[in-house]
Amino acid sequence: MQGQGAIELDRLEVFAVTVAAESADPPNRDLTVAKYLVGTIPVKAAPEKDAPSPPPDAKPDPRPAPGDTTTFAEDLNEAKLRPQITTPAPPPVIPVPPAAAAAAAAVAPKAVPVVRRIYIVRGLTRGGRAGQPSQRAVLPLLDLPAPPMDVTLTHNEQALTVSWTAPVSNLDAAPATFNVYAADGTGPLNPAPLSATTFVRQGVTFGTEECFVVRTAVAAANATLESASTTPKCVTPGDTFAPAAPTRLSAVGVSGAVNLIWEANKEADLAGYLVLRGEAPGDTLQAITTAPIRETTYQDATAKPGVRYVYAVVAVDRATPPNTSPQSNRVEESAR
């Protein structure tokens, strides 16, 4: 706010400069000048109070609104990687007693200077008035880490697992972490960089191909350096997972039939059940239902009175070809 009125943000200006390893970082007043301006992001005006809604066929405004998160990408070509500030920084003059200075030098690790690119953002009003610059983002211009190796994909009914081998580090920096991407995606699937070499993505769509890439990520200064992507690894999950065996099968002989009942299975892709029968004691069990039934009860009206039968039930799913569960517990019964 300024005075009694709100400041109406019109655009964001992005400034960047490459600084030589031994040079001092420039102050904001020297960085926020025209020659270091690398991008402008227009900002959508805040909606006016009681303004009518746009018509249904209106094209959406691609500009970010105040408060939105937005992204700026810069192509770092050879000219931008070449330091623009090369004046060596003067040594700091700090009045420290010699003994304390020697002790601090013995304990503190020596910082290795690197070429770096410094970014800063500021907002401008529609009248051209500049706001306060943002915090700085410092990108060390180091060699990128090596990408991971040996990416593999496995899956079960609920999840898909991406695994890889960590590369031999080619950076004298923080320990490597990893990001996993859909091959056609723009952001990592993992909410935070992974220290482990596996990633589990919940949810599997059988019969649909999915491809993934992995990148090594190393923290440096207040930036993250990512390797090139691995070669995309693809999988088309197939449903080869049989349902669980039905449980608690019981049988009751009645006049001219045997009634069966069992517990329902919980699988989402369950197609139904097949009832198996054979004559006791050692006959091979065969299906007496020609197609899966959805009910968890069945009346065997073809049972011959006085003949003792062995029954079992199996569950089948909707896969092509269908997967069949192990048999339920067996029961023996005869019709009356």
Q: Which domains does the chain have, with CATH numbers?
A: 9-140 (no CATH), 149-235 (2.60.40.10), 250-333 (2.60.40.10)
Note whether 41 and 70 are within 8 A (CB). yes
CA-to-CA distance for 253 and 333, rounded, in angstroms? 6
Residue in 264, 279, 290, 263 with CA at minimum distance from that of residue 333: 279
pLDDT for res 98:
64
CA-to-CA distance for 265 and 273, rounded, in angstroms? 9
CA-to-CA distance for 27 and 7, rounded, in angstroms? 26
pLDDT for res 108:
42
pLDDT for res 328:
97
Residue in 44, 41, 43 with CA at minimum distance from that of residue 72: 41
Specify the residue for token string 């943002």. Answer: 134
CA-to-CA distance for 167 and 173, rounded, in angstroms? 14
Q: pTM for the full model?
A: 0.64
| Cβ neighbourhood burial of 85 (10 Å; 0-12, 13-18, 19+) | middle
The set of residues, in sequence order, having a beta carbon less than 8 Å from that of 33 and lying 6+ positions away, is 15
Residues lower than pLDDT 70 in the chain: 1-7, 89, 91-112, 169-174, 221-222
Specify the residue for token string 């649909």. Answer: 208
pLDDT for res 172:
56
